[in-house]
Structure 1
Amino acid sequence: MTYTQRKQRDLWEREPIFSPSSNNKNYPVKFIDLFAGIGGFRIALEKEGFKCVFSSEINKHCQKVYEDNFKEKPYGDITKINPIDIPQFEVLVGGFPCQPFSISGHKKGFDDTRGTLFFDIARIIDKRHPKLVILENVKHFIHHDKGRTLRIIINTLKELDYFVSYQLLNANDFGLPQNRERIFIVASKIQYFQFEKLQKIPTPQLKDFLDKKGDFEILKKEEYTLIKNPKVQQPSGLIFVGYRNKNCWKKGVRPNTSHLSRVHRQPNRIYSIHGTHPTIPSQETSGRFFIYNDEKQYVRKLTLNECYKIMGFENFKPYHLVAESYKQIGNSVAIPVIRAIAKETKNQGLIRRNCCEVIV
């Protein structure tokens, strides 16, 4: 721990901890939503009593959805944001893009991030010193560029005087029927965030999140094949029950293996409603997610609304183009996971205020 960290920690430990029942209840913790997408982070934090004072998202389609749902159009290009122009805030959140850093870097910290979009996050942090930073990225980010990308980001945040913790979390541990693993980074000015204290919820079944009515796209029986004795895959909770009968390459294929090319491609797999659903990807703009309902004896496509529900979105206004909506929801965050983290940052006292602090 550096001298600056010790001094800052000692100062904040004398400050009142933010909680809904404290004297600060009329002044919610303020946060900024960077790489905001369609607002998953915002929904989660606002449900925990935080207040969004600034958002940034460059994609025009996401901007439209964000504005439709929050009555606020996000700022565009983050590289053009002057940190001084951002309203007062205490928490910075964002699901930033994964980019390789320059191999010419030697300091393994702030300077190595130049030329990447993470540098703009670091630039804002360096100028505004938020008390808390929460970042999210895909599972394989841990191994990106042989682990160098993650090391540089961790070192950068440490260089900016933060206690940095990170953990791979799965949405199916937080009340969603989706096997969705993402890495979360929490940086605090006070102490390390203890991920082990997160309150987890037993994994529900996909069937509890399905629409009761709708214009369902049901496959004909000759369009799919079910397998015998499907088993629950652990720890994902997936139950692979069959595959769509798609034409596949046959030349040079070994006997009794012709089905593998279609089985191994995710868009052609079929899963039981009594298990969980695979990760909803942003690349699948056709929404080829197929589920088997053994009670009604049919295979159908998961609806777009169901995709939103197994990400934790409720009463949400999607984009008017279906393909773009599938892309957007695949790029978003699992709301209950973010909410659990936000709640636990308060429980662990990572949001503290000086009683003389001016709230604007």
Structure 2
Amino acid sequence: MSKNKISKGLGAGASNNNKSIDESVVLNSIDLFAGIGGIRLGFEQAFGDRIKTVYASEWDANAVKTYEMNFKDDFEIAGDITEINEKEIPSFDICLAGFPCQAFSLAGRRLGFDDDYKGMARGTLFFDVARICEYHKPKVIFCENVKGLTSHDKGKTFKIILGTLNELGYTVFHKVLNSKDFGVPQNRERIYIVAFRNDIAPKIFNLPEKTNDSVVLSDIIEDKIVSVKYYLSNQYLDTLRKHRARHEAKGNGFGYEVRNHNSIAGAIVCGGMGRERNLIIDDRLEDYTPVTHIKGEVNREGIRKMTPREWARLQGFPEDYKLELADVHLYKQLGNSVTVPVIRAIAEKIREVLE
């Protein structure tokens, strides 16, 4: 169960592109809705030392902690993007913006531009990206979101986003890509948008095709025995089974799922919920003494949740990426993040154009 199959060569700043941008040119980038830096990491892997992050914004305090553990910057991470004055952002060439997905997700209420959560109008945050880019006119705007963005409100929402980028003076390319085709065992479809400023835009820009769909769960499962805390209690497992049976009786497909080691995971989701949809069997546990408060006993079937590190591998994060917060935060951060190898593959295509 070697992890080399997915992590080899994925260190921050790595690049297998032999061509080089003029060494006197370093492209400045900003990282909006930065999360834990997945998009930035993919671009750094593609561009190497030809890219420098000069600004980042993220409003979730725990995500900021993980971000700062892994990226050493000489600036403080800004908070709420709606309160940021675009004139105070340093000049930049590339805008990275994985604006929040919940407003358009099939898993949510799909309120789109009408979505409001704790006073944060998640559905309108794209227009803050537009506001900032209208002022700075970067060479490239890169956005990532859930596949549901393309069909939300019968396609009107997506049309508004593309039209806004066009009005700002950009030629837009987009494509839905699945993470399982890029060297990670996760069925995760996302829409990727690449907008080039018109004066440098290519007539044709092909987003990447499949690179590797051979990786399965056994390639990312921990080599060592994991803590008993990841194993479900027999009572909780029984509750899940009854819950699924009730839904199946109504013709619904909702419920827990135990994944075969030779298969792939379902999408890990925004907010970190749904861990029970990606359970695995791991019969290596020797000590069944609980280390947390549970009802009943630890199940003897070997059924457990995947660990945060395994989730990080599902997203293609390198092994040296620091995950030091409590599990509850890490699951949320990783579920909200992006699949790094997909970002890298797109960034390499962007680099070819900028060269």
The superposition leaves residues 47-93 of structure 1 with CA deviations (integer Å, 9 ceiling, x where unpaired) of 12222111111111111111121134421121222222222211111
Q: Deviations over 1:195-244 (max 9, x none)?
A: 354462233111011111122534578986xxxxxxxxxxxxxxxxxx98
**What is residue 45 of structure 2 aligned with on the other side?**
47
Match of 2:150 in 1: 142
Structure 1 length-normalised TM: 0.73
Q: Counting strand residues as a fraction of each chain, which structure ranks higher?
A: 1
Which residue number in structure 2 is paired with residue 34 of structure 1? 32
Q: Which has the larger radius of gyration?
A: 1
Tell me the TM-score normalised to structure 2 length.
Answer: 0.74
- Please identify, of 185-194 and 322-331, the stretch whose mean Cα deviation from structure 2 is larger: 185-194
Preserved CA contact (<8 Å) 1:34 1:93 = yes
Q: 1:172 maps to which residue?
A: 180
CA contact (8 A) 1:29 1:51 kept: yes
2:267 maps to 279
Report matched runs for 1:1-360 at 5 Å: 21-22=19-20, 24-48=22-46, 49=48, 50-72=51-73, 73-98=76-101, 99=103, 100-101=112-113, 116-189=124-197, 190-191=201-202, 194-198=205-209, 200-213=211-224, 214-216=226-228, 217-218=230-231, 246-248=241-243, 260=249, 264-266=253-255, 268-285=256-273, 287-288=275-276, 289-292=278-281, 298-314=302-318, 315-318=320-323, 320-347=325-352, 349=353, 351=354
Deviation at 1:150, TM superposition (A): 0.5
Number of residues of Structure 1 aligned to a counterpart in Structure 2: 297
Unaligned ranges ≥5, structure 1: 1-18, 103-112, 225-242, 353-360
Aligned to 2:12: none
Deviation sequence 1:279-327 (CA, Å, 0-9, x none): 0013444743311359998432211110111101122223522112111
Distance 1:82 1:222 in 2: 52
Q: 1:193 to 1:43 in 2, by over 3 A?
A: farther
Distance in 1, matches of 2:227 and 2:203, equals 48
* Aligned residues of 1:209 and 1:310 also touching (Cα < 8 A): yes
More displaced 10-residue stretch of structure 1: 184-193 or 271-280: 184-193
Q: Which has the higher helix share?
A: 2
CA distance in structure 1 between the partners assigned to 2:152 and 2:274 by the alignment:
28
Given that 1:186 and 1:193 are in contact with CA atoms closer than 8 Å, whether structure 2 keeps it comes out as no
Percent identity between matched residues is: 36
User: Which residue number corresponds to residue 238 of structure 1?
Assistant: none
Give the distance between the partners of 1:322 and 1:294, measured in 2 at CA.
22
Letter in 2 for 1:339: R
Superposition deviation, residue 276 in structure 1: 0.5
C-alpha contact (below 8 Å) 1:193/1:345 kept by paired residues? no
